Amino acid sequence: MLVQWCLSAQYFSEAELHAAAERITGDAADELQATVESMNGALGPFALALRSGMEQTTGDRRWAVVSTSADPISALGTPYPPATIAVLRHLLELVVTDDGYAIGLHHAVREAAAKCPAATTRRVAEDIVQRLADDGWLTVESQWVGVGQRACIELQPYLADAYPDCIKTCCLCKEMATRGIVCAACAEVLHPHCAERLESAAALSCPACRQRMANSESFGPHRPSRQKSETPL
C-alpha cells in the first residue's frame, strides 16, 4: 500500500513520506531507511526506484519515484504530450549548458514555442513552461528559468550522461548543484543551503581550498550578480 501511495504521489517531501509510512505501515520515522529499502525491492522489477535529493535552498529532503531506464525523460511520457517532453528536454539542455545555469523566461518561452507544432501560440508555450515548473521539472524565479528540484532527483543520471562537462556537484554534501556559489580560487561549488550552514559559524571559506568566498559568483536562477542581460523578445 505504501508503494501504491508513492506511485500516485510521484513527488513528495520527506515529511509527507514519513506521515504516509506511519499511517500505512505503523513504522516510526527512524525506520524510514529500512522502509525505503524494502519499497525499492518491490519497485526494482518495474525499472522504478524511490530516490531523494536535498532542496538546494532550504535543505529539506524531497523524494520521487524515478525511472531507472536509460532514457528517463521518455519514461515520463504518460502525463505529458510529446511536445511537452520535447520542450523539457530542450530547456534542460539550454539551462545546463548555460554558464550561469539559468535562461531568461522570455527566451525559454520562445524556445518552447519553436519546439511545438507550428500553430502553437505564445500563450500555449507559456502554459507548457509553467506546467513543467508547477510539476517541479523546471523552476521559474524572477523571470529566470532554472533546473527544478524534481529534475535533479529524477533526471540526474540522464543529465550526467548527456552533459558530463556541465554537471556541478556541491563540495560539501556531494549532491548535484544547479544553484549556489562558485569558489573564485578553486572553482568548487556550494549549494545556497550548504553555504549558509558553513557561514553561520564564521565567515564563509571554501571547504575544498580554504580560501575566503566573499565575492563568489553565484549560479542558478534568481542571481542578482548575473552579468549577462536578458535578450528582449
Binding site for Zn ion (CB under 5 A): 170, 172-173, 183, 185-186, 188, 191, 194, 206, 208-209
C-alpha cell at 38: 524494502
Shortest distance, position 48 Cβ to Zn ion, whole Å: 26
Name the residue nearer to Zn ion (CB basis): 115 or 193: 193
Shortest distance, position 179 Cβ to Zn ion, whole Å: 10
Shortest distance, position 101 Cβ to Zn ion, whole Å: 15
Name the residue nearer to Zn ion (CB basis): 155 or 204: 204
Shortest distance, position 147 Cβ to Zn ion, whole Å: 15
Name the residue nearer to Zn ion (CB basis): 55 or 98: 55
Maximum distance among all Cα pairs of the chain, rounded to whole angstroms: 56
Name the residue nearer to Zn ion (CB basis): 75 or 186: 186
Name the residue nearer to Zn ion (CB basis): 123 or 174: 174
Shortest distance, position 69 Cβ to Zn ion, whole Å: 27
